[in-house]
Structure 1
Amino acid sequence: LASAIEGNETDRLALLALKQHLVGANSPGPLLSWNASLHFCYWYGIRCDRNRQRVIGLQLVRLKVAAAGTISPSIGNLSALRVVNLSDKLRLLDLSNNDLHGNIPIELNNCSSMQNINLILNSLTGKIPFGSGDYHMKNLTILTLAANCLSGGIPSSLANLSSLDFLGLSRNQLEGNIPNDLSRLSNLKVLVFSRNNLSGTIPSSIYNLSSLTYIDMGSNQLSGEIAPEIGFLFPKLGILYIGGNQFTGKIPRSLANISILDQLDINSNGFCGPVPENLGKLQNLTLLAIDYNHLGSGKDGDLDFVSSLTNCSGLKVLAIHNNRFGGVLPDSVTNLSTQIEIDLGGNLLTGKIPSSIGRLQNLVTFNLSMNHLSGPIPSSIGNLSQLSLLDLTILKEGFIFQEMNSMLITLNLSHNSFTGVFPSDIVNSKDLVELYVNNNNFIGGIPSQIGEISGLIFLHMQGNHFNGSIPLSFCLLRATESLDLSANNLSNTIPSELQKLPFLVSLNLSFNRLEGEVPQEGVFKNTSQFSIIGNQNLCGGIPEIHLPRCSENQEAKNKGSALSTQALLIMILSILIVSILVAIIVVFCWRKRSRRELINRPATPLLSVGCSRVSYQELLEATNGFSAPNLLGEGAFGTVYKGILYQHKNPIVVKVLNLQNVEAIKSFEVECEALRKIRHRNLVKVITSCSSVDFKGNHFKAIVLEFMANGSLDKWLKCDSPRHLNFGQMLDVAIDVGNALDHLHHHCESMIIHRDLKPANILLNNDMVAHVSDFGIAKILSDATGKLGFVQATSSFVKGTIGYVAPEYGMGGPTSREGDIYSYGILLLEMITGKTPTDDLFNNGSGLHNFCKMALMSLQQLKEIVDFRLLKQINDPNKSQNMKVDGDDIIWKCFVAFINVGVACSVEVPFERMKIEDAIKELHAIKRVYQYHRIVK
C-alpha cells in the first residue's frame, strides 16, 4: 500500500512538472484541469489504471495551445505509462505539429522499447541527442525530426539505432559532414537530409547501405563527385534527390543499372559533360530533372540521349533547361511518352522545331525559351489539345501560327521578332490565364476578341507597334490583375470602364499617344498601381499625378467619347436582345412542330451531355436558385447541391467552387480534366462543367456530377443511422473501393493518388454499388512522385483528413500509392468496427489500427470490437443454432480475415503495406466463403 501511495504521488508531481514546462503555471487551455481540485486521474488527457490509480495513458498530440513549451525530463517518472511513456514500455512518441521548443531531453534514450519517434513540425532547438548513453533504443525503426530548428552536426551516435529504417532530418539547421558511422544502419531504407547546411562529400561508406530505397539530400552544400559505381551499390533505390548542392563531375553511367529507379533529380549542381545515353534502360523512370547544371558542349549530338528516353514509357517530366545543350532538337523528342512536361529552355539549341511535334497529343507543358531556334513555329503545335503552357520566349526568329488549342493556360511569345498583325485566332483558348506577347514587332489594332477571355489574369502586350484605341471589350476582363500596353502607338482616350475592373492592381499605359481625361476610381486611385507617363495630352486624374485640369473642350470630348461608348454598347445590346428574341421565336415554333417527335423519342441519356459546358442560368434553374432544400453539403472548396438539368429527368449533383479559396480556383481545371479522362464503374462520373459569371458579374465555376441516390458511406456507418450495411454489402463496398483505387493507381494514363480517401468520399447508387469521388482534385502524379520537376502541381492542398491520412505524410513524406492504401485499410476497419479513427476511445494514442490488431489475439476481444449491428445479424434468434457465435464459426473467420486485410493495409511502414491488388484478391476470397456459407445455411 505504501508503495502504491508513493507511486501515485510521483505521478502527480511528474504531471505538474510536465504542465509547468508545457504551458506555464497560469496559462489557459486544456491543461487548466490539472490542479488540486481534482484527482489527477480525472485530469484532461490522463488515463489511469483502475486498480492502482497509476497513470497509464497521456495524450498530447495536436494540443496546439497546451503543447507549446519544452519537454520536461520529469515525464520519465511516469513509470506506469503505456502510451506516451518514457519508461521502458513506450513504443510510440508522436508530438508532431505542435509548438514545442527547447532541447530534446536526452532521457528519451532510456526508452528501450521505443519504435517510433515523430517530432516533426515543432520549434525544437539544440543538438540531436539520440543514440547516446547506455541505452540505444535498439527497437527504434522510425525517427523523424523534420521541420524544427535543430543545429549542430548529425551525430555519429545515430549509428547505434541499429533497427532504424526511416531517418528524417530535413528542414533544420544541421551543418558539418555526413558521419561515416551511419553506414552501420544496415536496415535503413529512407534517408532524408534535405534543406540543411550540410557540407563535404558523401562518405564512401554510405554507399554500403544497399537497402536504401529513398535518398533525399537536396538543398545543402554537399560537394565532390558521385561515386561512378552508385548504380551497382543501390539496387533497390527508387528515388534519388540530390538537387541544390555543389556536386561536380559527370553523371555516372551506372545509374542505368538501377532498374527500379523512378525519379532522378540532380538539378542545380555543377555536373558537366554529356548525359549518358544508357539512361533509356530505366524503363520505370517518371521524372528526370537535370536542369541548372553545366551539361552539354553547345554542339551537335548533345541531345542524343533523348532518343534512348523513348524507352521510358512512363516518363512524365523531362527538365533539362539551363544547361549548355547545343545542336538541333532531334525528331526523337516527338516519340517520348505521350503525356509529358518538357522543359528545354535556356540552352544553345539551333535549327527548327520539328514539325512532327504535333504527335505528342498529350503534351502538357513545352518550354523552348531562350534558345537560338529559327524558322517557322509548326502549325501542328496548335493541335496539341492538352497543352497548358507554351513558352517560346527569346527565340532567334520565326513567324507565328494562326490558332491555338482550347486548353492553353499560359502562352509566352515575348522577346522575339514576330511581325505583322496579331492574329485574333491565336486567342482561341477561352481558358487562357496568362498571355505574354510583349517585345515583338506586331502592328495594327489589338484584337477585341481578347476581351472575351474572361479568366485572363496577366496580359502583357507592351513593346510592340499596336495602334488604334484600347478595345472597349477590355472592360469584360473582370479577372485581370496585370495589364501592360506600354510602349505602343495606342491613341484616343483611356476607356473609363477600366476603372471598374475589380481585380486590376497593375496597369501600365505609358509611352503611347493617349489623350483626354484620366479616370479617378479603381486602379487609378493609387499611383503605385498605374503608370501613364509618356502620353502628352492627358489631363485630370487624381491630384497626385499632377496633370492639368481638363478644359471644357476636353471634358466635352471625353463626355462625347463616353456617350459614344455608351451608345455603342446600347446598340450592341439592342442587336443582341433582338437576336435573342428572334432565336426564342424560332425555337418555340420548332419545339411546337416537333413536340410529338420529342414525346415519342426515348429520353436522352444524362451522360450524353458529354463534356460540353452548361451556363450559369441552366444550373441556377436546375437547383431552384441554389436553394437551401437542394443543399447537400458544404466543404472547404465549395458547396454541393442536388438538381435536375433541363430536358433530363435524372437528378444531378452540382459542385460549386468557393472562389474565395485560392486552392479551389486552382483545383477547378485539374478536377475537370481528371474527371473527363477517367471512366470506371466505381468512380463518380462527370457530366459537364460550368465556367462563367453570375448575374452580379462574379466568377462562377462548378462541376456537374452523377447523383448517387443512397448518399455517402459515411451516413451508413454512423451509429445513429437507421440504415446500416450487412456483411455482404460491406464486402461489396470494400471490393468496389479497392477496384477504384487499383484503376487510379495502375490503369490511368497518369497515376492518380486520391490523397483523401474516407467514407464521406464514397457514394452509393441505387444498387448499392460504391463510387469513389473527389479524386479529381488530387494531384495527377507520376508513379509515387513527391516532386513534379520544373512545373509545380496545380493542386497544393492538404494531403488528407485526420485519422485517415498516412503517418508518413505527417513526417513530410511524398504522396504515394501506399498513402491511399493506408486510408483504405482504416476505412475497412471503420466499416467492420463501426468506430471512426478519431473516436474518443483512441484519445490514449492507440489508434484504430492497433485497436484492431490487438483484438485479433483473442476471440473475446474480437467480439468486443465488431460493430454491434453486425452481431445482431449473426445472432438473429430466428436463425439456425449452427449460426451461433463460436470460434469455429465461418462468419467469424470471415470477420477475422476482413480485419486482417484492414490491418495489413494500414501498417505504419509504407513499404510493408499490402498491395491493393492483393487486398482485392483476399476480399474476393472472403466473399466466396461467405456467400457459400449463406447458401449452405
Structure 2
Amino acid sequence: MEIPSFSLRLQWWFFLVNLIICISLLGLESLSSTPTFGNETDKLALLTIKHYLVDVPNGVLSSWNDFLHFCQWQGVTCSGRRQRLTILRLEGQSLVSSLPPIGNLTFLRGLVLSNNHLHGTIPSDIGLLLWMRHLNLSTNSLQGEIPIELTNCSNLRTMDLTRNNLTGQIPFHFGHISKLLILRLGRNSLTGVIPFTLGNLSSLQQLSVAFNHLEWGIPHYLSRLKCLKYLYLDVNNLSGMISPSLYNWSSAIEFFVSGNILSGNFTPNMRFNFPQLRKFGTAGNQFTGIIPNTLSNISGLELLDLGNNYLTGQVPDSLGVLKDIYCTPTFGNETDKLALLAFKNYVVDVPNGVLSSWNDSALLPVGGGYMQSPTSEGHSLEVGGSEISICHPSDIGHLPRMQHLNLSMNFIQGEIPIELTNCSSLRTVDFTRNNLTGQIPFHVGHMSKLQHLWLGTNNLSGTIPPSLHNLSSVIEFAATDNHLSGNFMSNMRFSSQLRNFGIAMNQFTGIIPDTLSNISGLELLDLGENYLTGKIPDSLGVLKDLYWLTLDFNSLGRGMSGDLNFLNSLTNIRGLRLINPEGNHFGGVLPNFIANLSTQLQQLVLGENKISGNIPKEIGNLINLIQFIATRNYLTGIIPTSIGKLQNLGELDFGWNRLSGLLLSPSAT
C-alpha cells in the first residue's frame, strides 16, 4: 500500500508544479499585454465622446472606426510606447453637442475643442484629468459657471475658455493652479471681481479677462507677478484708480484696460517704468490731466491708445519717437477710406459688430479698431478678436501703405492670400488664432519691411518658405500650434536680427543645428512638442541675450551620460530665465556646474527624462528660482538642504523619483 500512496503523492506534486508554471505563464502574458488592455479605456472613452458629438458628413469622426487603431483616428495623438491617448484635438470641425464626459481620458495632456458649436456646461469630471497641461474650449457656446473641479488639474499650463457664454465668478481656487502660464477667460459674461489669489500664479505670463462684467478695481498685486507680460482687462466695469505699482511693472509687454470706468489724473512728469512695453491702451475711461511727456521714455512703445478720456492740453512733441499713436482723423485721406470700405464689402461681421461704424458718414472709419498715424495715412488695421469672417481676403492687398495688420482671433478661413505681399510697407502681420489652411506664401519673404509675423494656432501646413529665411528685417516669427513640418536643420537660416522664434506644437523633425548660434540677438527660442532628435548643440551658449529656452516633449538626448553637458554652455548666458527640456530622453547625472547657471534663472523644468544620481547641493545658488521640476526621473539620494535657501521658490516637484530626506522652508534655514 505504500507504493501506490507514494505514486499518488508524486503525481499530485507534478500536477501542482505544472499548475504553478501555467499560472506564471498566464501572469507573464497578462503583464505583457497590459498596455493593450490599459488603452482600451481610452478607446471606450473616445467612442463615448463620438456618441455625443454630431459631426458633418464625412467629417473628422468618420475615421473613428474599427478599421483603424484608435491612435490613428483623426485628431487623436497617443504616446509612443504605451499607446495611451495624450492629445485630443478637434478644433474647427463644426461639431454640435453638449460637452461629453471626458474624465476617463486618464493620461490626457492636451484637450483642444475650440471653434465648434458645443453647448451646455463644462462637465465636473474634467477635474479628473490630473495630467492635463493644455485646455482650449474657446469659441463655442458653453454656458453655466466654470467648474471648481478644474482646480484639480494642477498640471495645467494653458487654459483658454474665451468666447463662450460662461457666467458666475472666476473661481477663487484658480490661484492654486501653480503651473499656469496662460489664462484666457475673455468674451464671456463673468461677474464679480478679479480674485486676489491669482497673485499666487508666479509663472503666469498672460491674463485675459476682457469683455466680461467684472467689477471693482484692478488688483495691485498683478505687478508682483514676475513672469506676467500680457494683461487684457478691456471692456469690463472696473473702477477706481490704477495702482502706481502697475505703472512700474517691469515685465509688461502689452497692457490694456480700455472700456472701463477707471479714473485718475495724468501729470506731465508721471513716472512710467515699462522697459519692455510695446502696447498700452487706456481708452474709454475717465482719466483726466494731460498726456505725460514721460511716455516717450518707453522707448519700445509701438501702440498708444488714450482716446475717449478727459485729457486736455497738447500732444507732446516727444511722442514723435513712437511708431503708432491714436489720433483724430483729418481730411485728405479718401484713398484709404475707399480702400477700407471696399475691404468691408468682403467681411462678414456680427450684428452691430466692429465694422458697424465703417460708413460714409464718417471721415474715416475709426471705430472697429482702425487706427491711423499722425500723417493721416491709414497705417494700421486692427480687428483682432472681433468675430469676423472674410470672404475674399485677397482684397486686403488694396492697402499698400498699411504698416500693421491684426486679424487675430477671428473666424478667417482659407489660405493666406498672395496679395498680402502687395502691402510693401507692412511691419506687423498677426493672423493668430484663426482657421487658416495651406502653406505660408513663398512671397512673404519679399516683404522687406516685415518685422513681426504671428501665425500661431491655425491649421497651416508645409514648411517655412526658404524666402523667409533671407528676410533680414524679421524680429519675431511665431507659428506655434499648426501642422508645419520639414527637416529642422535645412529650415533654419534666419537673419541675425531675429529676437523671438517659436514653432512649438508642430511636426518638425531633424536635429537642432549649430547654425542657431548665428542668430546672435535671439532672446526667445520655443521648439517644444515637435519630433526633434539628437543632442542640444553647445553653440547655444553664444546666444548672450537668450532668456527663454523651451525644448519640451521632443526626442532629444540618448538616455546616456553626458546628455546634460549642454547646460555647461548655457552658463555663459547671464540673463537666462527659463530652461525647459522636459519630456525628452536626457540621461546621466545632474551636473554640479548647474550652480553656474544665471542667477536670474526662474524656471528649471527637467521632468520626465532619464536623469539619475543626486540633486547637487549647488542648486541652492540659483537664488531667484521660482519653479524647479524634476518629476519622473531616476533621481536618488537625499534632497539637499540648500533648496531651503531658495526664498522665491513657489513650485517644487520631485515626484516619481527615489529621493529621501526633509525639505526645509526658507524661514527654517
The aligned residue for residue 802 of structure 1 is 483
Residue 96 in structure 1 maps to residue 91 in structure 2:
yes
CA contact (8 A) 2:283 2:307 kept: yes
Residue of structure 2 equivalent to 1:317: 303
Give the 3 Å change call, closer, same or farther, for CA 188–32 of structure 1 in structure 2.
closer
Partner of 2:335: 433
Q: CA RMSD in A?
A: 5.5
SS in 2 for 1:224: coil
CA distance in 1, matches of 2:279, 2:105: 41
Q: Does 1:392 align with 2:362?
A: no
Check if 1:113 corresponds to 2:107. Answer: yes
**What do residues 128-182 of structure 1 show as CA deviations (whole Å, max 9, x unaligned)?**
225667xx33322222211111111112222211222212111111011112121
Contact 1:131 1:160 survives alignment (8 Å): no
Q: Which amino acid aligns with 1:341?
A: D
More strand by share: 2
1:86-134 Cα shifts (integer Å, max 9, x gaps): x99433222222222323333x22334332222222222222225667x
Correspondence 1:341 to 2:324: yes
The residue matched to 1:60 in structure 2 has which SS? coil
Helix, strand or coil at the partner of 1:147: coil
Paired residue for 1:822?
504
Partners of 2:233 and 2:58 in 1: CA distance: 45
Question: Identity percentage over the alignment?
Answer: 23
Where does structure 2 lack aligned partners over 5 or more consecutive residues?
A: 1-25, 346-358, 362-392, 396-413, 430-441, 487-497, 515-527, 535-552, 570-578, 585-602, 607-669
Matches within 5 A, 1:479-498: none
What is the SS of the residue equivalent to 1:310?
helix
Separation in 2 of the partners of 1:218 and 1:142? 21
Match of 2:140 in 1: 148
Correspondence for 2:316 among 306, 330, 338: 330
Counterparts of 1:32 and 1:674 in 2: how far apart (Å)? 39
Equivalent position amino acid for 1:762 in 2:
P
Cα deviation, residue 326, structure 1: 0.8
Write out aligned runs for 1:111-510 (5 A): 111-130=105-124, 136-231=128-223, 233-275=224-266, 278-297=270-289, 302-303=290-291, 305=292, 307-334=293-320, 336-337=321-322, 340-343=323-326, 367=327, 369=328, 391-392=329-330, 411-412=332-333, 433-434=335-336, 457=339
Alignment counterpart, residue 531 of structure 2, candidates 823, 839, 849:
849
Distance 1:201 1:186, change over 3 A: same
- Identify unmatched segments of 5+ residues in structure 1: 48-54, 63-80, 344-366, 370-390, 394-410, 413-431, 436-455, 460-478, 483-505, 509-635, 639-659, 676-701, 707-739, 764-770, 786-797, 806-815, 833-845, 860-886, 898-903, 915-937
The CA deviation at 1:183 is 1.6
Taking structure 2 as the reference length, the TM-score comes to 0.51
Cα separation, partners in 2 of 1:265 and 1:313, compared to 1, 3 Å: same
Structure 2 residue identity aligned to 1:330: P
- Indicate the SS of the match to 2:313: strand
Give distance in 2, aligned partners of 1:16 and 1:824: 26
**Are 2:461 and 1:761 equivalent residues in the alignment?**
no
Structure 1 position 820, deviation (Å): 3.3
- What is the distance in 2 between the residues matched to 1:329 and 1:889? 60
The verdict on how the C-alpha distance between 1:481 and 1:29 changes in structure 2, with shifts beyond 3 A counting, is closer
* Cross-structure match for 1:626: none
Q: Which has the higher contact order (CA 8 A, sep 6+)?
A: 1
Tell me how far 1:16 sits from its aligned partner.
Answer: 7.0
1:758–1:823 Cα contact (<8 Å) kept: no
- Displacement after TM superposition at 1:265 (Å): 0.6
Alpha-carbon shift at residue 219 of structure 1 (Å): 0.7
User: Could you report, residue by residue, the CA deviation over 1:177-226 in whole angstroms, capped at 9, with x for unpaired residues?
Assistant: 11212121222221111010111111222233233221111111111111
Which residue in the other structure is 1:61 paired with? 75
Q: Confirm or deny: 8 A CA contact 1:188 1:211 kept in the other structure.
A: yes
Structure 1 pair 196–703 and aligned structure 2 pair: CA distance change class (3 A): closer
Structure richer in helix, relative to its length: 1
- The aligned runs of 1:536-555 (5 Å cut-off) are none
Matching residue of 2:615 = none
The one-letter amino acid paired with 2:100 is: P
Deviations, residues 499-534 of structure 1 (Å, cap 9, x unaligned): xxxxxxx999xxxxxxxxxxxxxxxxxxxxxxxxxx
Q: What is the SS of the residue equivalent to 1:206?
A: helix
The two structures have a TM-score, normalised by structure 1, of 0.38
- TM-fit CA distance, 1:266: 0.6
Q: Distance in 2 between matches of 1:704 and 1:61?
A: 30
Amino acid at match of 1:60: Q
Letter in 2 for 1:826: F
- Deviation string, structure 1 residues 839-887 (Cα, Å, up to 9, x no partner): xxxxxxx98527886755659xxxxxxxxxxxxxxxxxxxxxxxxxxx9
Distance 1:662 1:433, change over 3 A: farther
| Structure 1 counterpart of 2:244, one-letter code | R
Which amino acid in 2 is paired with 1:97?
G
Amino acid at match of 1:208: N
Separation in 2, partners of 1:118, 1:851: 26
Distance 1:907 1:171, change over 3 A: farther
Cα separation, 2, equivalents of 1:140 and 1:661: 31
Change (3 A) 1:153 1:433: same
- SS where residue 504 of structure 2 aligns? helix
Q: 1:457: Cα distance to partner?
A: 4.2
Indicate if the aligned counterparts of 2:64 and 2:74 stay in contact, CA closer than 8 A: no
Name which one, 1 or 2, has greater alpha-carbon Rg: 1
CA contact (8 A) 1:822 1:905 kept: no
1:270 deviation in Å?
Answer: 0.8
C-alpha separation in 2, matches of 1:662 and 1:856: 33
Contact 2:427 / 2:450 at 8 angstroms: preserved in 1?
Answer: no
